[in-house]
Amino acid sequence: MILEDIIQNWVLELAVQKRYSPHTVASYKRDLLFFKKFLEEHLGEAVSLETFRNLKISDFRAWFSSRIGSGLAARSNVRALSSIKSFFRYLARRNLVDLRVIDSVRRPKLARLLPKPIEKSALFNFLNLDVFFDGDREWVTLRDRALFSLLYCTGLRINEALSIKTREIASEIKIRAKGQKERIAILLPLVLERIKHYVASCPHNLEEGFLFVGVRGKKLQASTVDNRLQKLRLIYNLPDHASAHSFRHSFATHLLQNGADLRSVQELLGHESLSSTQIYTDIDDGSLLKIYEKTHPLER
């Protein structure tokens, strides 16, 4: 079998059967092609399916050493290993390789990075600004305010928010998260009002398309949102970590600080595992202590 054809079929499986996002599929494919290029240089020969069958643990160690020597972060190396293991599992299901060697490769340990929320008062002040950029048309300001309010209200990922269609807007909307798992996002009346105000002012026809659009009427891109936020950080003295994703972190952190239970926050965020949500409990031990003192029977 031709290796290039096998790779293309693997990529197709990731996109169609596993329904990975286009960004994830592109990352996995890129990681594999870089791995293949490394093997060509490392082994001094063209890489074929037979090459993958005959790889030794020392080859994987050499690959990891080259990545570390290039200054790549541990998180990037972990993802690259996941990509290569995914490809090997694909080959193994077709009885093309033995998994024993790749299974013996251990992922590097990652430092635990805590999410960084935006402080409440700073966030509220920002969401209630009359104008974000002086030169913007009114509908653009209304769009941004509606979008930022939606992100903080629901904890949606930026791409989830930008994929919402106008016809889907209601007090509760279904969101298709990573892996195509659905969850419900609850929109508070204030957010619904801001969205309606934006829609009414927008010069583009939004009825049958995406809710959030750019100045030319095309779907608003996540990169555009983050570029605008980078500039807004400087203008309004927001913290350096302020980004579209930090609204999601703020959503989860502020809910827990106000006594929400972990399982509910897990469901709202769309996390598969509770351990993914538990990281937010490490952010503010003081608030959790207050909740504990307020709710434990012996403190009453």
Q: What is the pLDDT of residues 111-136, one digit of tens each?
A: 556 678 888 899 999 999 999 999 99
Active site residues: 157, 178, 245, 248, 271, 280
Strand partners, 65: none
Domain extent listing, the chain: 3-103, 120-295
The C-alpha atoms of residue 65 and residue 42 are separated, in whole angstroms, by 12
The C-alpha atoms of residue 287 and residue 70 are separated, in whole angstroms, by 41
CATH superfamily of 3-103: Tyrosine recombinase, N-terminal domain (1.10.150.130)
Q: Which of 228-232, 245-249, 262-266, 270-274 has the lowest mean pLDDT?
A: 270-274
pTM surpassing 0.85? no
Q: What is the 3-state secondary structure (H, E, C) of 38-63?
A: HHHHHHCCCCCHHHHHCCCHHHHHHH
CB 147 within 8 A of CB 225: yes
256-296 pLDDT, tens per residue? Answer: 888 888 888 888 888 777 767 777 766 555 555 555 556 65
47-81 pLDDT, tens per residue? Answer: 999 999 999 999 988 998 888 888 877 778 888 88
- At residue 21, the 3 state secondary structure works out as coil
- At residue 74, the 3 state secondary structure works out as helix
Helices (H), 94-213: 100-103, 120-127, 138-154, 158-162, 189-201
CATH superfamily of 120-295: Intergrase catalytic core (1.10.443.10)
Please tell me the predicted confidence (pLDDT) of residue 70: 83
Which has the closest alpha carbon to 75: 14, 31, 26, 40? 31
Please tell me the predicted confidence (pLDDT) of residue 169: 94
Give the angle subtended at the CA of 228 by the CAs of 223 and 232, to the nearest 5°. Answer: 145
| E strand map for the chain | 172-176, 182-186
